[in-house]
């Protein structure tokens, strides 16, 4: 089941490596604003469209629309008014009215940007817009009959149905061929848009919204997308045949001496088209509108045979709104054949359906997961397709409508059932298939559905786990080897009262098993809709050979007396590859592979970031880089696709917390190598993150890298750096970054709120300094990192000396490091960094001076800072920074006699033309006439190389 998880990660967890990466719509994010948001008020004033002023700096030019259309909002409000005169009930749709879809003109990374926006105080949530795909595929005939009808006892259920008006099942899909002779009689028609109006016009085509639900002439459903995704109309006829197959599975006409029979009897299918007219289109759009429309016009069951592995809070809001209107959403669990949640099926209010074959075994393509509720046949399903034909399809797409039909018949038997009770009744009345699926116990739901048992509600009791919390007895929150852990469980009774409720914890299939010490607990009597905490916690001890990131899987069985009435699976990660600790005023997370702040960029759900004195996290991303060129650059920060970080480092030993014997400071130590990188250098790294506890350094953290050359050759020209994306203001708004030449440190401050801590960062070792202040959005001439972070950009920023010393006031990051230096075979170089958080620049500066002195006293490779004289630099390019090819004057300054080469390089670091190449120039200012090469329009860099380092100046060249 899907339940609330206390003290654990919700909607984000470890995912098996073979899980499919969620696909999202490019350059698009979904934001739900708080009612008080100024941006929301502006958007509403502008007719729910136009740019949002507060996001222009971050997103650039952009367009907006409602996640739910104005017509659908009207239909929802009308439906609420019809259901209840209570104004509080009528206004429940206000939340979905505040959800905005934003599409940018420039390239952005939706995952990373949405995580940034989620930190704003006026944002409830922000997320990418998932691409939701159909999950059923045509299949050559493998059977000569509809085996699944007998398997789920459908025909026996038909015989017990009462003589009542049909139940409406919404088919939110690619449209339905409503003219299909085996389906036409069971297609829903809107009574409010049927017949003749006062002027004797056909209401189906009179151009009037006769029933006042916001949709004109929606007499047999609605098409929300049309041919191009933006052309809605009142004809939900199919593009792709998928929807007709799903509709026929639910309600193909029974006993008409023709074709096939649907699983359900006394059911009308409501055609809601969310796929384009293209018969080959595999994705669906505007599904939120489709679900809400179906619920608003009277569907009590809504089938969704589509989805994505990406969870969406906006979709959950929509599903809860449909639930408030009395509709149960039934959805397919996905066809990736993996142990992963699939959405919308995995959302708690949804009845999630996995697929089985003719022998009640898991279909090879079906997902399995603790969020699955039930299973149903999904292989070789014969049903209707467009054009009056029939075909066999495979998929959880085909299993879901079987369950939707059963839910519809169950609702017909008892119209008083709420959506939650209907979902529980279907789950309670199943056939157990555990013995046929030993490896998937607890991950295929409660069993394979049974239409007759569900209609008759043979099992009238059902309870499920409402929430659980896991704690380790030693209180460090790590769940490591030999830890004793306690699990407290709360149970909700959904159906008939329980006389003597109790629960038991037993092992579920997993890569390890705990040793149970207390495995039983009591609930006692429970009335309907009652929620009760178990009488005691389950206790168990984790084994000594606990694997890293192990899957703790526990089956929770719920009984009334000796009768099993519910079952759930607890699945969570133990012995994680990261640790969170605090030994002074800073609390931070460090992982085993070179990241600081979080373990799971960009979701940032695994870890606590960098927190100062209880304040929210100030760090969005942090990580280590080492390299000799743009190619040979192992690192663990965001990459060419900003949705993902590079994974160059592999842990040698999992991170451990404790006291560092060399310094007597507490913190964490990790060992990793660069062996995961195709272009590795052959280095290993010991990383220590240590925190002083003396009062004068309570806001300081030392980060120490001992870099060892494990190759057989000397590595020359090494640079090592830390990248940190700081978000002091909401989503980084109002932040600025600068290099303090006097104290040798980077300063990050928020210009809008002086109460936010000031961050200081410094490289303390006696090596050449590298520093680059990054505008995350870029400024046209300096690269940004919202769209991507190419290795050439990383290398330029970490190897150019004290390069860009000031950012604009915007969302900022910093690159700080050391180099170049050489490292002989088997030799080790230690590099020491300090990070502090203090109240204002002056205090941060003073604390950094104390941190430097403390590092020296601790015997670390630190040294007093000697202010660096003005480095060699390019002062001026005639007409710059935007220039055309051809002759220009250039002016540059040298601090000492040196050879000089100035060339033009592209964003990948490739030379495109030499401008100056002289063997010996004296100190001072020099000016030369140069010829800018004719190259493709774009951003380039002037690169000046001297004895004393490399200087880069961004320029833009147009032919």
CA distances in angstroms from 198 to 206, 208, 210, 217, 440, listed in the order given: 11, 12, 10, 15, 60
Helix, strand or coil, per DSSP, at residue 300: coil
Q: Is the pLDDT of residue 873 over 70?
A: yes
Q: Which residues pair with 538 in a beta bridge?
A: 487
The mean-pLDDT minimum among 9-13, 58-62, 333-337 falls in 9-13
Q: Is the pLDDT of residue 565 over 70?
A: yes
Taking the CB of residue 768, how many other CB atoms lie within 10 A of it?
A: 17
What pLDDT, on a 0 to 100 scale, did the predictor assign at position 918?
A: 93
What pLDDT, on a 0 to 100 scale, did the predictor assign at position 626?
A: 99
Decide if 724 contacts 814 (C-beta within 8 A): yes
The mean-pLDDT minimum among 437-441, 534-538, 682-686, 894-898 falls in 894-898
Say which residue, 15 or 539, is predicted with more confidence.
539
**Domain residue extents for the chain:** 24-130, 134-188+214-456, 462-574, 578-857, 873-958
Q: What is the pLDDT of residues 165-192, one digit of tens each?
A: 999 999 999 999 999 999 999 999 999 9
Residue 702, both tokens: 């030392």
- How far is Cα 502 from Cα 521, in angstroms, rounded to an integer? 6
What pLDDT, on a 0 to 100 scale, did the predictor assign at position 780?
A: 58
What pLDDT, on a 0 to 100 scale, did the predictor assign at position 910?
A: 82
What pLDDT, on a 0 to 100 scale, did the predictor assign at position 11?
A: 24
Q: Is the pLDDT of residue 21 over 70?
A: no
Highest mean pLDDT among 126-135, 265-274, 864-873, 890-899: 265-274
Q: Chain-centre distance of CA 351, in angstroms?
A: 22
- How far is Cα 812 from Cα 19, in angstroms, rounded to an integer? 33
Instruction: Tell me which H or E stretch contains 488.
Output: strand 484-493
Q: What is the pLDDT of residues 351-384, one digit of tens each?
A: 999 999 999 999 999 999 999 999 999 999 999 9
Decide if 383 contacts 252 (C-beta within 8 A): yes
Cβ neighbors of 853 (< 8 A, separation 6 or more) are: none
Helix spans in 414-484 (H): 419-428, 451-456
- How far is Cα 206 from Cα 185, in angstroms, rounded to an integer? 24
- How far is Cα 639 from Cα 657, in angstroms, rounded to an integer? 29
What pLDDT, on a 0 to 100 scale, did the predictor assign at position 163?
A: 95
φ/ψ of residue 9, rounded to 5:
-80, 135
Pick left, alpha or beta for residue 24 (phi over 0 → left; psi -120 to 50 → alpha; otherwise beta): beta
The mean-pLDDT minimum among 62-71, 185-194, 627-636, 934-943 falls in 934-943
What pLDDT, on a 0 to 100 scale, did the predictor assign at position 805?
A: 83
Q: Which residues pair with 806 in a beta bridge?
A: 738
Decide if 753 contacts 732 (C-beta within 8 A): no
334 burial (CB, 10 Å; 0-12 / 13-18 / 19+) is buried
Q: Is the pLDDT of residue 314 over 70?
A: yes
Tell me the catalytic residues. 173, 242, 397
Q: What is the pLDDT of residues 248-275, one digit of tens each?
A: 999 999 999 899 999 999 999 999 999 9
Model confidence band, residue 938 (pLDDT cutoffs 50, 70, 90): confident
The mean-pLDDT minimum among 213-217, 890-894, 954-958 falls in 954-958
CA distances in angstroms from 205 to 180, 233, 273, 794, listed in the order given: 22, 12, 19, 61
Helix, strand or coil, per DSSP, at residue 500: strand
Model confidence band, residue 882 (pLDDT cutoffs 50, 70, 90): confident
Taking the CB of residue 841, how many other CB atoms lie within 10 A of it?
A: 14
- How far is Cα 26 from Cα 41, in angstroms, rounded to an integer? 26
Helix, strand or coil, per DSSP, at residue 16: coil
The CATH classification number of 462-574 equals 2.60.40.10
The mean-pLDDT minimum among 737-746, 803-812, 856-865, 944-953 falls in 944-953
Model confidence band, residue 880 (pLDDT cutoffs 50, 70, 90): confident
Residue 487, both tokens: 């699990």
Helix, strand or coil, per DSSP, at residue 748: strand
Model confidence band, residue 244 (pLDDT cutoffs 50, 70, 90): very high
Q: Is the pLDDT of residue 17 over 60?
A: no
φ/ψ of residue 214, rounded to 5:
95, -5
Helix, strand or coil, per DSSP, at residue 29: strand
pLDDT (average), residues 321-333: 98
7 burial (CB, 10 Å; 0-12 / 13-18 / 19+) is exposed
* DSSP notation for 671-737: EEESTTSTT---EEEEEEEEE--SGGGTTEEEEEEEEEE-SSS-EEEEEEEEEEEE--SGGGTTEEE
pLDDT (average), residues 820-830: 98
Q: What share of the chain is helix, strand, coil (3-state, %, to 5)?
A: 20, 40, 45
- How far is Cα 350 from Cα 372, in angstroms, rounded to an integer? 10
Residue 367, both tokens: 């997902």
Decide if 426 contacts 407 (C-beta within 8 A): yes
φ/ψ of residue 463, rounded to 5:
-135, 155
Instruction: List, edge to edge, every strand of the sheet that includes 123-130.
Output: 62-66, 99-104, 24-33, 123-130
Q: Is the pLDDT of residue 16 over 60?
A: no
Of the candidates 322, 297, 395, 389, which has an alpha carbon nearest to the alpha carbon of residue 353? 395
Q: What is the pLDDT of residues 687-705, one digit of tens each?
A: 999 999 999 999 999 999 9
The correct CATH number of 873-958 out of 3.40.50.150, 2.40.50.140, 2.60.40.10, 2.60.40.1930 is 2.60.40.1930
Residue 853, both tokens: 């002195």
The CATH classification number of 578-857 equals 2.70.98
Burial 695-733 (b: 16+ CB within 10 A, else e): eebbbbbbbbbbbbbeeeeebeebbbbbbbbbbbbbbbb
Q: What is the pLDDT of residues 581-627, one digit of tens each?
A: 999 999 999 999 999 999 999 989 899 999 999 889 999 999 999 99
What pLDDT, on a 0 to 100 scale, did the predictor assign at position 503?
A: 98
Tell me what the pLDDT averaged over the chain comes to: 91
What pLDDT, on a 0 to 100 scale, did the predictor assign at position 360?
A: 98
Residue 111, both tokens: 């995952």
Residue 831, both tokens: 């590099």
What pLDDT, on a 0 to 100 scale, did the predictor assign at position 869?
A: 65
- How far is Cα 620 from Cα 130, in angstroms, rounded to an integer? 23
Q: Is the pLDDT of residue 137 over 80?
A: no
Q: Is the pLDDT of residue 5 over 70?
A: no
Evaluate the omega torsion of the peptide bond into residue 46 and state whether it is cis, within 30 degrees of 0.
no
Q: What is the pLDDT of residues 83-121, one digit of tens each?
A: 876 655 545 556 999 999 999 998 889 999 999 999 899
Taking the CB of residue 355, how many other CB atoms lie within 10 A of it?
A: 32
Q: Chain-centre distance of CA 328, in angstroms?
A: 25
- How far is Cα 287 from Cα 626, in angstroms, rounded to an integer? 45
Q: What is the pLDDT of residues 465-489, one digit of tens each?
A: 999 999 988 877 778 889 999 999 9
Taking the CB of residue 889, how many other CB atoms lie within 10 A of it?
A: 12
Of the candidates 112, 102, 25, 41, which has an alpha carbon nearest to the alpha carbon of residue 67? 102
Q: What is the pLDDT of residues 495-523, one digit of tens each?
A: 999 999 999 999 888 888 999 999 999 99
Taking the CB of residue 838, how many other CB atoms lie within 10 A of it?
A: 21
User: Alpha-carbon dihedral of residues 318, 321, 325, 329, nearest 10 degrees?
Assistant: 40
Helix spans in 176-302 (H): 242-251, 287-296
Decide if 305 contacts 401 (C-beta within 8 A): yes
What pLDDT, on a 0 to 100 scale, did the predictor assign at position 691?
A: 97
Q: Is the pLDDT of residue 416 over 50?
A: yes
Q: Say whether pTM exceeds 0.75.
A: yes
Burial 571-609 (b: 16+ CB within 10 A, else e): bbbbbbbbbbbebbbbbbbbbbbbbbbbbbbbbbebbbb
Percent of residues, the chain, with pLDDT higher than 90? 77
pLDDT (average), residues 201-230: 95
Taking the CB of residue 305, how many other CB atoms lie within 10 A of it?
A: 31
* Assigned fold of 134-188+214-456: Rossmann fold (3.40.50)
CA distances in angstroms from 372 to 132, 275, 350, listed in the order given: 18, 25, 10
* DSSP notation for 927-942: EEEEEE----SEEEEE
Cβ neighbors of 239 (< 8 A, separation 6 or more) are: 174, 175, 273, 275, 276, 277, 278, 279, 281
Domains 462-574 and 873-958 share a fold: yes
Residues in the chain: 959
What pLDDT, on a 0 to 100 scale, did the predictor assign at position 85?
A: 67
CA distances in angstroms from 13 to 57, 440, 469, 604, listed in the order given: 32, 19, 15, 10
Q: Is the pLDDT of residue 8 over 70?
A: no
- How far is Cα 815 from Cα 154, in angstroms, rounded to an integer? 65
What pLDDT, on a 0 to 100 scale, did the predictor assign at position 958?
A: 84
Helix spans in 170-286 (H): 242-251
């Amino acid at each position: 089941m899907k339940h609330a998880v206390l003290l654990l990660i919700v909607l984000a967890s470890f995912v098996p490596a073979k899980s499919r990466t969620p696909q999202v719509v490019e350059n698009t994010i979904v934001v739900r604003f708080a009612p008080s948001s100024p941006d929301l008020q502006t958007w509403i004033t502008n007719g729910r469209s136009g740019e949002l002023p507060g996001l222009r700096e971050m997103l650039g030019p952009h367009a907006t629309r409602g996640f739910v259309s104005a017509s659908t909002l009207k239909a929802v409000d009308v439906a609420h008014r019809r259901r209840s005169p209570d104004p509080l009930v009528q206004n429940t749709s206000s939340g979905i009215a505040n959800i905005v879809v934003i599409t940018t003109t420039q390239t952005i990374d939706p995952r990373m940007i949405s995580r940034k926006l989620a930190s704003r105080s006026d944002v409830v949530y922000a997320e990418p817009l998932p691409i939701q795909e159909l999950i059923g595929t045509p299949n050559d005939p493998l059977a000569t009959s509809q085996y699944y009808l007998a398997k789920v006892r459908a025909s026996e259920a038909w015989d017990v149905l009462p003589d009542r008006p049909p139940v409406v099942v919404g088919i939110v899909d690619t449209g339905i061929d409503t003219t299909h002779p085996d389906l036409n009689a069971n297609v829903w028609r809107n009574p409010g848009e049927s017949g003749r109006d006062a002027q004797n016009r056909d209401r189906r085509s009179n151009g009037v919204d006769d029933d006042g639900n916001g949709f004109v002439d929606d007499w047999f459903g609605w098409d929300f997308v049309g041919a191009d995704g933006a052309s809605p109309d009142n004809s939900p006829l199919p593009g792709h045949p998928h929807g007709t197959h799903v509709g026929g599975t639910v309600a193909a006409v029974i006993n008409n001496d023709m074709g096939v029979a649907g699983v359900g009897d006394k059911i009308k299918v409501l055609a809601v088209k969310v796929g384009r007219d293209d018969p080959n289109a595999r994705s669906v759009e505007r599904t939120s509108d489709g679900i809400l429309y179906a619920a608003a016009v009277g569907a009590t069951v809504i089938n969704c045979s589509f989805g994505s592995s990406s969870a969406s809070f906006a979709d959950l809001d929509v599903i809860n709104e449909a639930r408030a209107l009395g509709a149960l959403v039934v959805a397919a669990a996905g066809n990736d054949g993996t142990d992963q949640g699939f959405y919308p099926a995995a959302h708690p209010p949804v009845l999630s359906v996995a697929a089985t074959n003719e022998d009640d075994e898991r279909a090879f393509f079906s997902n399995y997961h603790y969020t699955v509720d039930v299973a149903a046949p999904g292989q070789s399903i014969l049903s209707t397709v467009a054009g009056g034909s029939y075909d066999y399809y495979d998929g959880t797409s085909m299993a879901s409508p079987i369950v939707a039909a059963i839910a519809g018949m169950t609702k017909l038997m008892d119209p008083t059932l709420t959506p939650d009770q209907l979902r529980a009744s279907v789950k309670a009345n199943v056939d157990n298939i555990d013995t046929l699926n030993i490896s998937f116990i607890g991950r295929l739901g409660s069993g394979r559905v049974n239409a007759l048992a569900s209609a008759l509600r043979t099992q009238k009791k059902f309870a499920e786990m409402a929430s659980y919390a896991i704690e380790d007895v030693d209180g460090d929150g790590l769940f490591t080897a030999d830890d004793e852990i306690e699990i407290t469980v709360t149970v909700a009774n959904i159906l008939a009262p329980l006389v003597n409720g109790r629960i038991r914890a037993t092992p579920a299939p997993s890569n390890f098993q705990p040793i149970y010490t207390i495995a039983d607990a009591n609930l006692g009597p429970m009335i309907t809709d009652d929620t009760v905490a178990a009488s005691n916690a389950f206790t168990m001890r984790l084994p000594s050979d606990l694997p890293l990131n192990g899957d703790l899987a526990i089956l929770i069985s719920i009984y009334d007396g000796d009768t099993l009435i519910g079952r759930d699976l607890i699945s969570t990660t133990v012995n994680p590859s990261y640790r969170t600790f605090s030994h002074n005023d800073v609390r931070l997370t460090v992982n085993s592979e070179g990241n600081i702040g979080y373990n799971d960029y960009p979701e940032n759900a695994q870890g606590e970031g960098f927190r100062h004195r209880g304040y929210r996290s100030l760090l969005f991303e942090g990580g280590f880089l080492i390299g000799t060129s743009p190619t040979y650059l192992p690192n663990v920060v965001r990459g060419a696709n900003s949705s993902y970080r590079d994974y160059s480092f592999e842990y040698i030993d999992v991170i451990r917390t404790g006291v560092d014997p060399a310094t007597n400071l507490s913190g964490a130590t990790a060992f990793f190598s660069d062996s995961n990188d195709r272009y590795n250098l052959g280095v290993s790294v010991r990383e220590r993150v240590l925190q002083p506890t003396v009062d004068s350094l309570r806001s300081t953290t030392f980060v120490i890298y001992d870099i060892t050359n494990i190759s057989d050759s000397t590595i020359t020209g090494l640079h090592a750096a830390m990248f940190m994306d700081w978000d002091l203001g909401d989503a980084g708004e109002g932040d600025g970054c600068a290099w303090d030449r006097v104290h040798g440190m980077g300063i990050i401050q928020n210009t809008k709120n002086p109460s936010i801590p000031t961050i200081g960062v410094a490289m303390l070792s006696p090596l050449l300094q590298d520093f680059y202040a990054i505008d995350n959005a870029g400024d046209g001439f300096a690269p940004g990192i919202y769209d991507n972070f190419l290795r050439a950009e990383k290398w330029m920023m970490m190897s150019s000396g004290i390069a860009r010393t000031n950012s604009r006031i915007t969302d900022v990051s910093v690159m700080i490091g050391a180099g170049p230096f050489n490292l002989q075979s088997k030799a080790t170089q230690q590099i020491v960094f300090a990070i502090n958080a203090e109240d204002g620049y002056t205090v941060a500066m003073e604390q950094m001076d104390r941190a430097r002195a403390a590092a020296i006293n601790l015997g670390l490779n630190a040294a007093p800072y000697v202010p660096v004289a003005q480095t060699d630099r390019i002062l001026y390019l005639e007409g710059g920074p935007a220039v055309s090819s051809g002759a220009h004057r250039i002016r540059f300054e040298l601090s000492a006699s040196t050879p000089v080469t100035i060339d033009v390089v592209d964003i990948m670091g490739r030379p495109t033309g030499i401008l100056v190449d002289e063997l010996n120039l004296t100190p001072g200012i020099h000016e030369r006439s140069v010829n800018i090469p004719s190259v493709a329009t774009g951003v380039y860099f002037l690169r000046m190389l001297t004895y004393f380092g490399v200087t880069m100046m961004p320029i833009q060249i147009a032919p």
